[in-house]
């Protein structure tokens, strides 16, 4: 029998976290690099995971009254120029189409047919959707307008990492228009709550809700709300944002309406989005040195059945047992969708490792001895790969949804405990700098994470900390109580703590 490796992924998280991440993406069969620089190919196992996230999030959107639509991939350059701060924020990331055909030249195909106006490949859609809103909105009776689109966007990143930061990625972007600022602010908060619910109840990823500093806001927004989660290398991941845009984009796109008082007013707008970055968050929140661990509520599949066939004369019996068990499981529902069951009847070594690396929540082995005892041999992905349990078939079928819920809860509690253990309240500047130093031999307990510290509100202090430590203000927590203190950078008075961290 071949000797099993100590871990399925090399290097381990401790040895090289960045490379561990890349290897997990590869061995878990989620995605791969494409021939186009900075872009990715999402493979079926990874896309099934994204589809489940989409399904859950889309249902939540619709429960709040949002409708789906679709808007052009190409945005006229003049549209982006209407909102100066917005275009400045995205200018360096824009891919631009300048020609509409190819012609054969002496050395191959060359662009021809220059466009009258360049088209920007969608980096975000405030301006193009605003153009439609300006036509759809005439009266206060047309408001609120609550629209979402599922789409791809292009932001020409220089340094890319699959799922976390790619030149093209998948996402949803919601856009709404309202008659009052109060309604728009409320919608901004409602959508942030939706993202937090998705992250915590479906992705098992604890998050902190808060507000971005002015320097970290979405370009052109009046206010940006966000959810932040801690990854296993103690860096923060921004998992979703919701923006109150005020009237800035309404004025740029001329979204006006007649009020009940028969005055003409500009609408108040919002936008909000989440992307395939969430898959990166799942990997880094729950993965171990054997691969990814999928939260059951969004898992690409829930259970894999692995028939063990050593003799040809037992094959029919083992497969019949396996297929009938699969049917029983598929007839069950787990959180409003049918259980998805895989059957892996490959007669090869290492099958179990393949599914461990892919993170499927439950693995089941079925051999002649199990059939004789009407039982199965089960392994859970949230436990060690050697930890397996024999269960009677009826009991397994009866308890499978409870097992999945227990795995889901275990993943959430692990991640929450990890965040608590790596969060600190710091009031001294030296300790703050020590906390974010990569290696601190004198104080090994100081290792980075989330630091709750006072900030005076100065962009100068925020910028200095970023320049010195590559640490940013992740958010001003929504539940942070007023508290008098001194800025961790300059020592001036402060009335609240913010969360500082290194981030993706």
User: pTM value?
Assistant: 0.95
- Residue 141 is given by DSSP the state G
User: Going by C-beta distance under 8 Å and a sequence separation of 6 or more, which residues neighbour residue 417?
Assistant: none
Q: Please name the residue that has the structure tokens 């259980």.
A: 339
Q: What is the pLDDT along the chain (504 residues), one digit of tens a residue?
A: 445 457 899 999 999 999 999 999 999 999 999 999 999 999 999 999 999 999 999 999 999 999 999 999 999 999 988 876 766 777 888 999 999 999 999 999 999 999 999 999 999 999 999 999 999 999 999 999 999 999 999 999 888 999 999 999 999 999 999 999 999 999 999 999 999 999 999 999 999 999 999 999 998 999 999 999 999 999 999 999 999 999 999 999 999 999 999 999 999 999 999 999 999 999 999 999 999 999 999 999 999 999 998 877 788 999 999 999 999 999 999 999 999 999 999 988 889 999 999 999 999 999 999 999 999 999 999 999 999 999 999 999 999 999 999 999 999 999 999 999 999 999 999 999 999 986 654 555 557 999 999 999 999 999 999 999 999 999 999 998 899 999 999 999 999 999 999 999
CA distance 501 to 423: 10
H-type alpha helices, 368-426: 368-372, 393-421
Q: In what order do the strands lie in the sheet with 341-343?
A: 341-343, 303-307, 362-366, 375-380, 388-392
CA distance 487 to 473: 13
CATH 3.40.50.800 residue ranges of the chain are 303-419
CA distance 303 to 340: 7
Query: φ and ψ at 214, to 5 degrees?
Result: -60, -40
Query: φ and ψ at 459, to 5 degrees?
Result: -65, -25
Pick among 3.40.50.800, 3.40.50.1820, 3.20.20.80, 3.40.50.10490: CATH of 303-419? 3.40.50.800
Quote the pLDDT of residue 442. 53
CATH 3.30.930.10 residue ranges of the chain are 17-73+123-286
The CATH code of domain 17-73+123-286 reads 3.30.930.10
Strand partners, 333: 338
The CATH code of domain 423-501 reads 3.30.110.30
**Residue 24 CA: distances (Å) to CA of 13, 86, 334, 358:** 10, 36, 27, 9
The contacts found for 26-32 with CB under 8 angstroms, 24 or more apart, are 27/291, 27/357, 28/283, 28/291, 28/292, 28/357, 28/358, 28/359, 29/357, 29/358, 30/162, 30/163, 30/279, 30/283, 30/292, 31/162, 31/163, 32/162
């Amino acid at each position: 029998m071949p000797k099993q490796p100590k871990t399925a992924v090399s290097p381990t998280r401790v040895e090289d976290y960045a490379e561990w991440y890349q290897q997990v993406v590869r061995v878990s069969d989620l995605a791969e690099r494409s021939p186009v620089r900075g872009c990715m190919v999402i493979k079926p196992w990874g896309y099934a995971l994204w589809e489940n996230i989409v399904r859950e999030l889309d249902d939540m959107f619709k429960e709040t009254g949002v409708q789906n639509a679709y808007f052009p991939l190409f945005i006229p350059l003049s549209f982006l120029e209407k909102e100066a701060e917005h275009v400045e924020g995205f200018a360096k990331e824009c891919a631009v189409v300048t020609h509409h055909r190819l012609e054969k030249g002496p050395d191959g195909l060359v662009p021809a047919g220059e466009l009258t106006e360049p088209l920007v490949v969608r980096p975000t859609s405030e301006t193009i959707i605003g153009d439609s809103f300006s036509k759809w909105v005439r009266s206060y009776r047309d408001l609120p307008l609550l629209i979402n689109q599922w789409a791809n966007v292009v932001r020409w990143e220089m340094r890319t990492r699959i799922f976390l930061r790619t030149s093209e990625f998948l996402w949803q972007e919601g856009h709404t228009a309202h008659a009052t600022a109060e309604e728009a602010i409320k919608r901004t908060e409602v959508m942030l709550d939706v993202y937090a619910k998705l992250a915590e109840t479906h992705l098992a990823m604890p998050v902190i809700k808060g507000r971005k500093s002015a320097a970290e806001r979405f370009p052109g927004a009046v206010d940006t709300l966000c959810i932040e989660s801690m990854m296993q290398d103690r860096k923060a991941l921004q998992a979703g944002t919701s923006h109150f845009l005020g009237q800035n984009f309404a004025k740029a796109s001329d979204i006006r309406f007649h009020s009940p008082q028969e005055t003409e007013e500009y609408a108040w707008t919002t936008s909000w989005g989440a992307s395939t970055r969430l898959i990166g968050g799942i990997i880094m929140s729950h993965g171990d040195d054997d691969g990814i661990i999928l939260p059951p509520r969004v898992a690409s599949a829930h259970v894999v059945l692995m028939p063990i066939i050593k003799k040809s004369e037992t094959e029919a019996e083992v497969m019949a047992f396996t297929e009938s068990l699969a049917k029983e499981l598929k007839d069950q529902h787990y959180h409003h969708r049918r259980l998805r069951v895989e059957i892996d009847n490959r007669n090869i070594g290492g099958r179990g490792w393949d599914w461990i690396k892919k993170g499927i929540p439950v693995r089941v082995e079925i051999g002649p001895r199990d059939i004789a005892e009407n039982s199965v041999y089960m392994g859970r992905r949230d436990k060690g790969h050697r930890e397996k349990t024999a269960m009677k078939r009826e009991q397994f079928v009866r308890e499978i949804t409870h097992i999945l819920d227990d795995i889901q809860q275990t993943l959430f509690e692990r991640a929450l405990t990890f965040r608590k253990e790596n969060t600190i309240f710091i009031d001294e500047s030296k300790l703050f700098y020590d906390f974010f130093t990569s290696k601190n031999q004198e104080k090994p307990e100081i290792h980075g994470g989330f630091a709750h510290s006072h900030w005076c509100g100065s962009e100068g202090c925020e910028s200095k900390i970023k320049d010195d430590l590559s640490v940013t203000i992740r958010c001003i927590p929504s539940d942070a109580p007023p508290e008098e203190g001194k800025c961790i950078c300059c020592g001036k008075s402060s009335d609240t703590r913010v969360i500082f961290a290194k981030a993706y």
